[in-house]
């Protein structure tokens, strides 16, 4: 997993983490939540509507939200594209803020007077997009109840949903409603895009602050890519350890042994690892043995008419030259 093609999600995680840390360090967490009475109605602290989605009140909620954004938000951003996803985040935040204030006004008589700080609605709106876009891989049953593999993705957000009920549950429900409104496009929210000036400003000044988005490099498999000089040297060392004669090694490995002043011969072509393996194996010949020609077999067989053909071929396979094969046959007959 990485933030490749997901800079907006990384920016959200950084902003949320830094805002939560700053609120804890400067001891201003009590300014972050929404409370209708007395803060909004009596004290007219409407600026809380702008800052309450920025920071969480405790580290456990922050950890759950950051994990959800990393596991789910990156996939949704890659599906939408960064520009559309940034517009979706803006629309969701504005709409959920208005619905949160409206919920406090309508339901404060039945006990809803408090909504905790943090981007609850945004997290659950992204979660709803994941529910609608990403298909299930498999299903299973527990006590007759059917579940899909996505249930494991929803366990952490469920803790966020019920953590500070009823306020957190209301914020989560508003997020799901906002996600549904965006998905169904009843209000025409899908067509909204942030201003090109904002996109250019963010790309030029904010994106470099987030650091690299490249995925981690992974080791390559055996393929057709030419190996480096170090790889060729390692392959040559392995071949020497297996007892493979220099004359039987692939051209690139021979050239590696004949390098002068750290340079290869002009006609040497670096082999691939796949060609090295295929050259070692040959036409059904065991690793480390060469395949003698029919002329060599006939020549040695004429010298030893009583020797079996298998013995002649075996001596030639274990020898660099015909003379060496003759010496091996002579030593076995004495």
Taking a C-beta distance cutoff of 8 angstroms, is the pair 65, 16 a contact?
yes
Q: Is 253's pLDDT higher than 50?
A: no
Residue 167: is it exposed, middle or buried by C-beta count within 10 angstroms (0-12/13-18/19+)? buried
pLDDT above 80: residue 286: no
Query: Are residues 252 and 268 in contact, defined by beta-carbon separation less than 8 angstroms?
Result: yes
pLDDT at residue 334 in the model: 56
User: Residue 261 corresponds to which tokens in the numbers above?
Assistant: 């002043």
Q: Which of 260, 264, 237 is nearest to 251 (CA)?
A: 264
Residues 35, 127: one domain? Answer: yes
Are residues 309 and 199 located together in one domain of the fold? no
pLDDT band at 314 (very low <50, low <70, confident <90, very high): confident
- pLDDT at residue 92 tops 60: yes
pLDDT at residue 282 is higher than 50: no
In the predicted model, is pLDDT for residue 23 greater than 90?
A: yes
Range of the domain at 65: 7-210
- 10 Å CB burial of residue 216 (0-12, 13-18, 19+) is exposed
Nearest Cα to Cα of residue 169 among 222, 216, 115: 115
pLDDT at 243 over 50: no
Q: Provide the domain count of the chain.
A: 2
pLDDT 10s digits, 119-131: 999 999 999 999 9
pLDDT of residue 162: 92
- Looking at the structure, tell me whether residues 16 and 139 fall in a common domain: yes
Q: What is the mean pLDDT of residues 100-115?
A: 92
User: Would you place residue 224 in the very low, low, confident or very high pLDDT band (cuts 50, 70, 90)?
Assistant: very low
pLDDT-based confidence at 178, cuts 50/70/90? Answer: very high
Q: What is the DSSP string of 273-332?
A: HHHHHHHHHTTTPPTT-----HHHHHHHHHH-TTS-HHHHHHHHHT-SSHHHHHHHHHHH
CA dihedral (175, 177, 182, 186) in degrees, to 10, reads -160
Residue 312 in domain: yes
Residue 80 has pLDDT above 80, yes or no: yes
242: pLDDT confidence band, cut at 50, 70 and 90?
very low
Q: What is the mean pLDDT of residues 269-287?
A: 48
Q: Are residues 284 and 205 in the same domain?
A: no
Burial of 215 (0-12, 13-18, 19+ CB in 10 A): exposed
In a domain, 231, yes or no: no
Assess whether 187 and 247 both reside in one domain. Answer: no
Q: Judge if 272 and 196 occupy the same domain.
A: no
Q: What is the CATH number of the domain that holds 172?
A: 1.20.1540.10
One domain, residues 200 and 64? yes
pLDDT at residue 270 is higher than 60: no
Per the domain annotation, does 233 fall within a domain? no
In a domain, 313, yes or no: yes
| pLDDT value at residue 53 | 94
pLDDT at 325 over 90: no
User: Does 201 lie in the same domain as 321?
Assistant: no
pLDDT above 50 (res 18): yes
Task: Evaluate whether residue 49 is within a structural domain.
Answer: yes
The yes-or-no verdict on residue 39 having pLDDT over 50 is: yes
Ranges 76-80, 110-114, 247-251: which has the least confidence: 247-251
Residue 229 lies in a domain: no
Q: Is residue 225 part of a domain?
A: no
* pLDDT score of 240: 52
Burial class (CB in 10 A: 0-12, 13-18, 19+), 120: buried
* Spatial distance between the Cα atoms of 254 and 235, rounded to a whole number of angstroms: 11
Residues of the chain above pLDDT 90, percent: 48
pLDDT at 114 (0 to 100): 92
Q: Are residues 175 and 302 in the same domain?
A: no
* Same domain as 38, residue 156: yes
Average pLDDT for 72-83: 93
* Same domain assignment for residues 93 and 183: yes
What would the pLDDT profile of 129-171 be if each residue is shown by its tens digit?
999 998 888 888 988 889 888 888 899 899 999 988 899 999 9
The whole-chain average pLDDT of the chain stands at 80
pLDDT class for 1, splitting at 50, 70, 90?
Answer: low
Domain shared by 186 and 253, yes or no = no
pLDDT of residue 229: 53
Please state, in angstroms and rounded to a whole number, the distance separating the CA atoms of residues 98 and 47. Answer: 13
| Arithmetic mean of pLDDT, 261-283 | 46
Residue 244 has pLDDT above 80, yes or no: no
Q: Could you read off the pLDDT of 183-207 as tens digits, one per residue? A: 998 888 999 999 999 999 999 999 8
230 is a domain residue = no
């Amino acid at each position: 997993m990485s933030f490749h093609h997901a800079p907006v999600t990384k920016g959200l995680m950084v902003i949320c983490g830094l805002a939560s840390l700053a609120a804890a360090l400067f001891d201003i967490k009590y300014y972050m939540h929404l409370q209708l009475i007395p803060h909004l109605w009596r004290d007219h602290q409407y600026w809380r509507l702008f800052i309450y989605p920025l920071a969480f009140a405790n580290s456990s909620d922050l950890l759950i939200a950051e994990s959800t954004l990393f596991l789910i938000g990156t996939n949704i951003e890659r599906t939408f594209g960064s520009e559309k996803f940034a517009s979706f985040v803006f629309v969701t935040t504005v709409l959920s803020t208005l619905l949160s204030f409206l919920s406090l006004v309508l339901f404060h008589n039945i006990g809803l007077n408090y909504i905790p700080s943090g981007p609850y609605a945004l997290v659950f709106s992204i979660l709803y997009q994941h529910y609608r876009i990403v298909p299930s891989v498999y299903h299973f049953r527990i006590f007759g109840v059917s579940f899909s593999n996505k249930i494991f993705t929803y366990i952490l957000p469920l803790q966020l949903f019920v953590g500070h009920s009823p306020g957190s549950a209301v914020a989560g429900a508003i997020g799901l409603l906002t996600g549904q409104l965006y998905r169904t496009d009843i209000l025409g929210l899908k067509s909204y895009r942030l201003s090109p000036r904002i996109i250019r400003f963010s790309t030029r000044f904010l994106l470099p602050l987030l650091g690299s988005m490249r995925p981690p490099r992974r080791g390559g498999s055996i393929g057709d890519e030419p190996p480096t000089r170090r790889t060729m040297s390692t392959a040559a060392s392995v071949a020497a350890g297996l007892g493979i004669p220099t004359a039987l090694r692939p051209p690139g490995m021979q050239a590696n042994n004949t390098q002068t002043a750290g340079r290869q011969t002009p006609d040497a072509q670096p082999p691939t690892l796949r060609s090295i393996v295929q050259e070692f194996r040959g036409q059904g010949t065991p690793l480390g043995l060469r395949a003698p020609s029919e002329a060599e077999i006939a020549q040695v067989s004429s010298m030893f008419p009583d020797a079996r053909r298998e013995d002649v071929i075996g001596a030639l396979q274990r020898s660099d030259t015909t003379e060496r094969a003759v010496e091996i046959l002579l030593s076995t007959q004495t």
